[in-house]
Amino acid sequence: MSKSIKIRKGLDIRIKGDAERSSIEAPLSSTYAIKPTDFHGLIPKLLKKVGDQVKAGTPIFQDKYREHIKYVSPVSGKIQEVKRGAKRKILEVIIEADKEISYEEGSPVDVASLDRETAKEALLASGLWPFIKMRPIDVVANYTDTPKSIFVSGFDSSPLAPDYDYLLYTRDKEFQAGIDILNKLTDGNVNLQLRAKGGADAAFTQAKKVVANKVSGPHPAGNVGPQIHQVDPINKGEVVWTVNAQDVAIIGSCLLTGRYDASKLLALTGSEATNRKYFKVIIGANASDVLNGNSNTGNVRYISGNILTGSQIEADGYIGFYDSQITVVPEGNAYKFFLTKGWLIPGFKKLSNNSAYPSKVLGPKKFDVDTNLNGEERAFVVTGEYEKVFPFDIYPVHLIKSVMINDIDSMEKLGIYEVAPEDFALCEFVCTSKINSQEIVRQGLDVIHKECM
């Protein structure tokens, strides 16, 4: 039975740089990369070496400890380089792309004829399994689990987020095929969350075999974490799976055609982007093909994802596997004179959630922001700021502190199984102590994964 959910705690960060609803076909990149670092906890085992030829859908590496989960090439071409970091950790597998993509040819899948095991086998064999993530822990799902439900968020409420209605426009058939196979994987519901106000694309409104819940309120209303908390909370020993809405369509497209087509729409956003539109790209594309001529250069930061949870990349870096936007904002590494731009100014143009700043009421509708933290890490004190933006029935500061002292019993009692790092992004934004909350939560989840699961 569908629910109406009202998120009361949160914060919409009003910044300049939204993408307009028009799309451009980005040129085919000369190189693409699949990055093991996009899949937290993955230890990859290479299946191809430098110089090997691959097609779109050819397995490149697999999970060392879950060998059924394979990670495939998004394009055809030749393995150009395997970039390694400290202790020979694999950071990127770079593929020199062909001018025209060729695919590993498979047969279209009749989803209706599949049972649970054959549905899992189809997803594993085609390289689509990494699109499915699990809560708790927020990593690629275990194929041996049976989730009690599956969650798909039909909108994104993060700063400058892409419009999911636009991302899924004309992809009704592919989205439904993806939903159909997700239904094979659980005994519970496939929950699709939509905005309570405003229209939604036909891919969402006409989707079958889903429980459509209506959600209203500020960010993080679009995150699956608060949605799960309201609809089907997670207790110890339970598992819920999540899939991004655009990735559902990619799964469906592969099932309908038999080809691993990793095309997606990517929003170019941020105040330093000059041509803020949607670009049709392939997963793992080089960001330079989107950024060249479409953004300012110089002292700017390029982020694959949004400003709260995204990863910094270079101008010629590679787009993250799960990301549907690139954000370009000014670097905040310039000194600010305290009388004109620093701490002594009245704060009419300063973005803050603190009511001491008049910008909370009298400021512009949207703000120019940079990456300056306006301070450094200091004593972690209780201020009540976290609770204002954290829409869980959980004590966030107490949970963070239990992770910091590695108290597993307290972590479990305080709700570690319900949260993911992205759920603490707003806490990190408003934190007067400048604590890296997302990093701390990730460390806590890793401990729980190792010791309790």
Within a domain: 359: no
- Residue 274 has what DSSP assignment? S
252 and 118 housed in the same domain: yes
67 and 147 housed in the same domain: no
Within a domain: 361: no
Last residue of a domain, one of 69, 97, 125: 97
Dist. CA 152–CA 190, nearest whole Å: 7
Q: What is the pTM of this model?
A: 0.94
pLDDT tens by residue, 240-271: 999 999 999 999 999 999 999 999 999 999 99
- Main-chain phi, psi angles of 174, to 5 degrees: -65, -40
Within a domain: 136: yes
Using DSSP bridges, classify how beta strands 4-6 and 278-282 pair: parallel, antiparallel or unpaired. Answer: unpaired
129 and 181 housed in the same domain: yes
The H or E element containing residue 402 is helix 396-404
Domain holding 412, by residue range, is: 373-452
The pLDDT, as a whole number, for residue 125 is 95
175 and 244 housed in the same domain: yes
144 and 242 housed in the same domain: yes
The pLDDT, as a whole number, for residue 2 is 86
93 and 207 housed in the same domain: no
pLDDT tens by residue, 395-431: 999 999 999 999 999 999 999 999 999 999 999 999 9
117 and 249 housed in the same domain: yes
Residue 194: CATH number of its domain: 3.40.50
159 and 85 housed in the same domain: no
Specify whether the CB–CB gap between 185 and 119 falls below 8 A: yes
Q: How many domains does the chain have?
A: 3
The pLDDT, as a whole number, for residue 370 is 87
Those residues with Cβ within 8 angstroms of residue 139's Cβ, 6 or more apart along the chain or in another chain? 39, 40, 41, 42, 133, 449
Within a domain: 204: yes
182 and 252 housed in the same domain: yes
Last residue of a domain, one of 212, 242, 257: 257
**What residue ranges of the chain have pLDDT lower than 70?**
337-349, 355-363
The H or E element containing residue 328 is strand 325-330
Within a domain: 356: no
45 and 151 housed in the same domain: no
Residue 40: CATH number of its domain: 2.40.50.100
219 and 175 housed in the same domain: yes
